[in-house]
Structure 1
Amino acid sequence: MDEQAKNQSHNATGNVSSNAYIDSSKADRAVWLMKCPPAVSRRLRTPPSDGLDPSRPVAKVIVSIDPLNSNDDDSHPEFTMELAEAESGHPKCYAVDMNKDFIPMSVFSESPQGKLSVEGKILNKFDMRPHNQNLELYGKICRERTNKYMVKNRQIQVIENDRGAHMMPMPGMVTFSTAAPTEKKKAPAKTTETKRTRRDRGEMEEILFKLFERQSNWSLRLLIQETDQPEQFLKDILKELCVYNNKGTNQGTYELKPEYRRSGN
């Protein structure tokens, strides 16, 4: 290992001496990465409880291959894991889905003495799920687990002081008023004219032309709402660009003078 790799090893662990090396003798060994439920993980790490040989396998993996499609590139073998012993109420049989589309990774280990080793290179990644024959059982486990975490643990505490001293609010927390309800304050009148700011006249004319493209007739009130301009300022522009309808179906509205209308309007 070169000096740069040695420094990287020291930076990664933080407690390895500067002359420590990573054992890479097993770097090319193929290993599997498997994602499994917590119940399966606990069972794989726990020796059998039936008093038999603790070195016997805790699970077996069954590989199923279709001989008719074994040479097909799209054909993948099917994996099934059966536990020798499962936790109470949990299934023993699981389907294992293989996936080769993942970022290349390696497995590292660290001994109690701080020695780092490469245990192998991940060849395949597996995701474990309950086998089809155990879906009903696994669904029941999931429902029970959800219901368990939804239950709120309530505690009842008996208050010895029956005079309610502990229930009285602290000073300043609550104020009581026995006075008659006061008259509701009236909202201040809006001073719309003083709050509205005039736009540039040319810009305002362009806005009005676009509004009259949307619809041909507008009342003054709606134009003020759309443009947010002072009423008198808006009236002066409308006087030059529009005709006010005193009667007819469009009484009380403005429409553009013929010379300002676009063809088709």
Structure 2
Amino acid sequence: MEEHGGSGGSAKQARSAHVDTSKAERAVWLMKCPPLVSRSLRAPPSDPSRPVAKVVVSIDPLNSNDDDSPPQFTMELAGTEAGHIPKCFVMDMSKDFIPMSVFSDTPQGKISVEGKILNKFDMRPHNQNLDLYAKLCRERTNKYMVKSRQIQIIDNDSGAHMRPMPGMISFSTSGPSEKKKPPAKATDTKRTRRDRGEMEEIVFKLFERQSNWSLRNLIQETDQPEQFLKDILKDLCVYNNKGTNQGTYELKPEYRKSRD
């Protein structure tokens, strides 16, 4: 790394621009977890002496050293929020990802490399908690489906402010060659993406109504961007390429079992 000469403020700025790489080779884990797990890990513990969670590593002693099957990781939460919150989660480990590192930035402007990501984990509810997780999804979906309505009382009930004022209405004559522009299609309007956790709960609710859905009907029901909805369906559903339900999605067996 090149050093810059000088003194005073210029030397201080040059030092703050350096990146601390003393911990660049430290191995760290990257874990993708549901929001409810993140809230439980961040919540202050009732007993500071107890850990907020523990990770259980399961290894089959009968496997040979040549077996490349990875060990099984499970996280058990020590304390959870009120309500139907699962406590046991499976951590699916993967090593096939683009090399990444973790950086930190202090308020003083110092940048440090905290480590290199060794393993990547995707968290999902354990099989023993599927029924509990499905119940939690139904409760949240019902909560989001309720529309809040407001009643506003108009003080000026004469209706004068509702009538158009002079000069607001303009009359125009159109010739025979002029054509009215067709109304914009629904697909032309930009759809706003919802929170992913909220959308997963809405998808579960829709599949409780019927077991098979086409992509077009799901877009009409959820009013979400097509690619965003496809990414969610890829994680939760299977696509039927043939058979009586060809061209439709249905829930994966593990989610369909919990729904039943």
* 1:139 positional shift: 1.7
User: Structure 2 CA distance, aligned partners of 1:155 and 1:170?
Assistant: 28
Partner of 2:2: 3
Query: Relative to 1, partners in 2 of residues 1:159 and 1:83: Cα closer, same or farther, differing over 3 Å?
Result: same
User: Structure 2 CA distance, aligned partners of 1:85 and 1:134?
Assistant: 15
TM-score (norm 2): 0.55
* Partner residue of 2:35 out of 3, 28, 38: 38
Partner of 2:13: 17
Q: Calculate percent identity across the aligned residue pairs.
A: 75
Alignment of 1:78 onto 2:88: no
Partner of 1:101: 96
Q: Which amino acid aligns with 1:87?
A: E
User: Structure 2 CA distance, aligned partners of 1:164 and 1:24?
Assistant: 70
Gaps of at least 5 residues in structure 1 are 7-15, 176-265
Q: How many residues align?
A: 164
Alignment of 1:56 onto 2:53: no
Secondary structure in 1 aligned to 2:29? Answer: strand
Alignment of 1:110 onto 2:109: no
* 1:172 positional shift: 6.2
* 1:45 positional shift: 2.2
User: Structure 1 CA distance, aligned partners of 2:131 and 2:91?
Assistant: 18
User: Structure 2 CA distance, aligned partners of 1:139 and 1:166?
Assistant: 50
Partner of 1:226: none
Secondary structure in 2 aligned to 1:27? Answer: coil
Please identify runs of 4+ aligned residues in structure 1 that moved more than 6 A: 172-175
TM-score (norm 1): 0.55
* 1:160 positional shift: 2.6
Q: Which amino acid aligns with 1:35?
A: K
* 1:70 positional shift: 4.7
Secondary structure in 1 aligned to 2:54? Answer: strand
Secondary structure in 2 aligned to 1:18? Answer: helix
- The C-alpha deviation readout for 1:126-180, integer Å capped at 9, x for no partner, is 00011111112212222332333333222111123333334434456679xxxxx
Q: Which amino acid aligns with 2:77?
A: L
* 1:30 positional shift: 0.8
* Partner residue of 1:159 out of 154, 159, 184: 154
Q: Which amino acid aligns with 2:35?
A: P
Q: Which amino acid aligns with 1:159?
A: I
Partner of 1:138: 133
Higher relative contact order (CA 8 A, sep 6+): 2
Secondary structure in 1 aligned to 2:38? Answer: helix
Alignment of 1:125 onto 2:120: yes
Gaps of at least 5 residues in structure 2 are 5-11, 171-260
User: Structure 2 CA distance, aligned partners of 1:155 and 1:45?
Assistant: 35
Trace 1:220-231 onto structure 2 (pairs within 5 A): none
User: Structure 2 CA distance, aligned partners of 1:65 and 1:76?
Assistant: 8
- The C-alpha deviation readout for 1:179-209, integer Å capped at 9, x for no partner, is xxxxxxxxxxxxxxxxxxxxxxxxxxxxxxx
| Higher gyration radius (CA) | 1
Trace 1:194-205 onto structure 2 (pairs within 5 A): none
User: Structure 2 CA distance, aligned partners of 1:170 and 1:72?
Assistant: 84
* 1:99 positional shift: 0.5
User: Structure 1 CA distance, aligned partners of 2:73 and 2:34?
Assistant: 16
Q: Which amino acid aligns with 1:71?
A: N
Secondary structure in 2 aligned to 1:19? Answer: helix
Q: Which amino acid aligns with 1:146?
A: T
User: Structure 2 CA distance, aligned partners of 1:118 and 1:84?
Assistant: 31
RMSD, aligned α-carbons? 2.8
- The C-alpha deviation readout for 1:95-148, integer Å capped at 9, x for no partner, is 110000001111111223222221111100000011111112212222332333
